[in-house]
Amino acid sequence: MHPSQTVEMKLAARRGFLGRCPSCGKTPLFRAYLKQVHACLACHAEFGRIRADDAAPWLTIIVIGHIFLPLVFFLDLDRVIPFWACVAVYAVFLSLLALVLLPRAKGLFIGILWATRAPGVEAG
Ligand SMILES: [Zn+2]
């Protein structure tokens, strides 16, 4: 039996989002910022062949876009501080937000792909 058949997709997605092994949740999913481990050291579930491709950046852009536009329109920061400072504040805040969200989005998609054994998991 494939290990993904014993783990619910929501649980695998949540564990992946948190950067943990989607199968057991005991070990880190990433060995570097966006490089997933080949296999979990605890449960030996394999993740090295899973390719999330453009899904993680796509989700990150969608989420940040939905945060950025209301923030710009409702805060109206350019009335309080100069425009150049406003651009700098938004650029730093949104860049940091993207850096935090990107590995979480990738983990989320790896968890879903692993749990569903969907296309994107290359056959070995
Ligand atoms: Zn594991």
pLDDT for residue 1: 54
Q: What is the separation, in whole angstroms, between the first and last Cα of the chain? A: 16
Residue 114 CA to ligand 1 centre (angstroms):
12
Rounded distance from Cα 124 to ligand 1 centre (Å)? 19
Residue 40: per-residue pLDDT? 95
Name which residue leads in pLDDT, 53 or 16: 16
Half-sphere exposure of 9 (CA within 13 A, CB side): 6
* Ligand 1 mean position, distance from CA 122 (Å): 19
Residue-wise pLDDT for 23-65, tens only, equals 999 999 999 999 999 999 999 999 998 998 899 999 999 999 9
If you measure from the C-alpha of residue 47 to the centroid of ligand 1, how many angstroms do you get, rounded to a whole number?
10
Q: Residues 82-110: pLDDT tens digits?
A: 999 989 999 999 999 999 999 999 999 99
Predicted TM-score (pTM) of this structure: 0.86
Taking a C-beta distance cutoff of 8 angstroms, is the pair 17, 124 a contact? no
Question: For residues 4 and 20, what is the distance between their CA atoms, to the nearest angstrom?
Answer: 15
Q: Cα–Cα distance between 87 and 84 in angstroms, integer?
A: 5
Residue 73 has pLDDT above 90, yes or no: no
Position 52 scores a pLDDT of 87
pLDDT of residue 118: 83
